[in-house]
Structure 1
Amino acid sequence: MTSHPTAATNASAPGRLIYGCMGLGGSWDDAPYGPAEVDQAAAAIDAARHLGITLFDHADIYRRGKSEQVFGDVLAATPGLREQLLIQTKCGIRQAGDGLPGRYDFSAGHILASVNGSLQRLRTDYVDILLLHRPDPLTDVAELAGAVGRLMEEGKVRALGVSNMSAAQISHLQDRLETPIVANQLEMSLGKRAWVESTVLVNQDTGFDTGFPHGTLEHAATHGIELQAYGSLAQGLYSGRPSGTAADLATAGLVQALAQGWNTTAEAVVLGWLMRHPARISPVIGTSNPARIAACADAPRIAAEMSREAWYALWTEARGSAMP
């Protein structure tokens, strides 16, 4: 099997902006959504498309399935829209309920049922990329490979990715999969820096405290795996709600100063810092506010123009100490 051409597999290609749909669909409980939530989803989708965003990120658990469902409502109300978009969703997390604990599940039965449920809610016949959401320690890789192969043969999934996985975990899966893993979605931002700290803390005692598996970025670059960054705006820590530590406040000040000097927004600076890294990082924008989505438009330009000195200045300010 080969990956679908819509999936990013070229290691030399720059990152892209992705719209994350977790904020759509109303509450996180079982309460139904209404017309206001449909209008909110339509406005967010339109704002993202205005930026040139084509990839929309989902998971079967977001808002207990309502994020996918409200997105499907917008697709159904807009003939021809589905063909203009790329949709990815995730499976593998089972939430607590009916006396059972929250858990992870890569069994064939759960994967097949999860994807079929997502397709029904999204009102589409296929997803462009399916991400395996979090590692399941009980994974039977042969069983997993069989389920993925079946979904691809049926045309329900066109490419495969993972989320929250290390290089070793990806390699373990890839040994048995016939289709290449094309994406790995991780929490990465100027606020959550373990992914970049791990690269300079090799042979440093503090390196053991980062909690990020060293070599994961390098593995992605070597194998043409797109790195997708969730939480990429750091929940507005540097671009709208300055708070936290002295380092956080200083970083927010630097972000604002750079934004003014570059005639752009704080959001573009924060995302541009991620995209400046050569690992092809693609930020996932999670806000449902159209104005804040629009504020991200300049990120690719800022990434292309950001100097090494500015990039290191932001990192050093955020970490609150000099490079080791």
Structure 2
Amino acid sequence: MAPTMSYIQIEGIHLPVPQLILGSMMLNIENYDYSFGLLDAYYANGGNAIDLAKVYGPKPTRAVGEWMKVRGNRDRMILIGKGAHHDANGPRMKLEHMEEDLNLQLGWLDSDYFDIFMLHRDDPNTSVGYILESLEALLEAGLCRAIGVSNWSTARIQEANDYSAAHGLRGFVCNSPNLSLARAKEPRWLGCVSVDDAYANWHEQTQLPLLSWTSQAIGFFTGRYSPDLRDESDIVRVYYSEENWERYRRAATLADERGVNANHIALAYVLRQPFPTCALIGPNNLDELSSSMEALTVSLSPKEMLWLDLKTEHPN
């Protein structure tokens, strides 16, 4: 039996949100057949959420917009736009920057609104009051239906949502940091935030949905890397550590017992947290999409989750 999609709920979004959200950087309006093939397959598997961003450029967003126009399914899709990313001149956390990025992406998409608009980075020097008041103006204008953040600290999210509650504003309904079984030793990109134990504990306490980017750790669990293979500098810099190799070994051991592979276990680890999670996936072909779907069938007990993350010596 083919795996079926699973879903979470996000406040302000009228559709269930799939636990596998399709990334868009591999899509390209100039590669029409390839892009439509991936989008059709994802949709056929119950997927209805796509992650977009201004910094990804127009080609992925235009591919999604054209696909929705041809398929006539905009009202059945959940589209996430991201903006206010810093540029060479520094932070861009003014209302005019948010509005500019949002309108630019909507033009590429040929749509009137995003379901969720996320701030792609934080600027700690800008008050949460100003940020929330600015975003409320975009919500009131109907340009987006809910707001979230990517790569913010939990302290700033808490401060922002406390301000929203105190001032009758709509707060952040989701957060998108990096969460993966392999712990990042350092940020992959400037300003990126990865989940540590304290960060995860905050999400467990608040139950704020988490949408993880690079949830599969750049393929760390696929078997194509080893401690003595150091050709890809990014993955070596971010993920090569004895602790992560032990996580890989434990994932591979559990995978052998379950009849799956270590990458399935690593993705299931993200999806089985004690708070609502989704994983952003970027399959380059239909086989990779099918493999990600397979992770939805993998159950992990709380003890196995702790063991995979090196918190205990035994999985049971």
TM bucket (normalised to shorter chain) is 0.7 to 0.9
Q: Residues 181 and 247 of structure 2 are in contact (CA less than 8 Å); yes or no, is this contact kept in structure 1?
A: no
1:1-324 superposed matches below 5 A:
3-6=11-14, 16-25=19-28, 34=30, 36=31, 38-62=32-56, 64-78=57-71, 80-96=72-88, 101=89, 103-177=90-164, 178-192=169-183, 215-244=198-227, 251-302=247-298, 305-316=299-310
Q: TM-score, normalised by structure 2?
A: 0.78
Deviations 1:127-150 (A, max 9, x none): 111111111133243432333122
Given the superposition, is the C-alpha separation of residues 172 and 154 from structure 1 closer, same or farther in structure 2, using an over 3 Å criterion?
A: same
Query: Structure 1: which 5+ residue stretches go unaligned?
Result: 10-14, 26-32, 195-209
Q: Is the 8 A contact 1:75 1:123 kept in 2?
A: no
Cα displacement string for residues 3-51 of structure 1 (whole angstroms, at most 9, x for unaligned residues): 5243779xxxxx82211112323xxxxxxx62x2x22222222232233
1:216 alignment partner, SS class: helix
- How far is the alpha carbon of 1:216 from its aligned partner? 3.2
Q: Deviations over 1:81-106 (max 9, x none)?
A: 2122111111111433xxxx3x3312
Q: How large is the Cα RMSD of the aligned pairs?
A: 3.0
**Cα gap change, 1:242/1:171 in structure 2, threshold over 3 Å: closer, same or farther?**
same
Q: Distance in 2 between matches of 1:89 and 1:171?
A: 22
Q: Distance in 2 between matches of 1:277 and 1:183?
A: 15
Query: Which of 121-130 and 282-291 deviates more?
Result: 282-291
* Cα distance change on mapping 1:211 and 1:261 into 2, 3 Å: closer
Give deviations 1:191-248, integer Å, cap 9, x for gaps: 1268xxxxxxxxxxxxxxx986764333333434101111111111112423235665
Q: 1:107 to 1:162 in 2, by over 3 A?
A: same
Cα distance in structure 2, aligned partners of 1:39 and 1:280:
34
Deviations 1:142-163 (A, max 9, x none): 4323331222122211111111
When structure 1 is superposed on structure 2, of 104-113 and 210-219 the one drifting more is: 210-219
Q: Aligned partner of 2:44: which letter?
A: H
SS of residue paired to 1:175: helix
2:189 aligns with none
Report the 3-state secondary structure (helix = DSSP H, G, I; strand = E; otherwise coil) of the residue aligned with 1:187.
coil
Report what 1:12 is aligned to.
none
Q: Quote the Cα distance in structure 1 between the aligned partners of 2:162 and 2:306.
A: 37
* Greater relative contact order (CA < 8 Å, ≥ 6 in sequence): 1
- How far apart in 2 are the matches of 1:106 and 1:7? 29
Q: 1:314 to 1:216 in 2, by over 3 A?
A: closer
Paired letter, 1:21: S
Relative to structure 1, the CA distance from residue 77 to residue 149 in structure 2 (aligned partners, 3 Å threshold; closer, same or farther) is: same
For 2:221 and 2:181, the matched residues in 1 are separated by 9
Give the TM-score, by structure 1 length: 0.76
- For residue 295 of structure 1, report the CA deviation from its aligned partner: 0.4
Tell me, in whole angstroms, the C-alpha distance in 2 between the residues paired with 1:82 and 1:260. 41
Aligned counterparts of 1:294 and 1:112: Cα–Cα separation in 2: 37
SS of equivalent to 2:123:
coil
The gaps in structure 2 that reach 5 residues or longer are 1-9, 186-192, 228-239
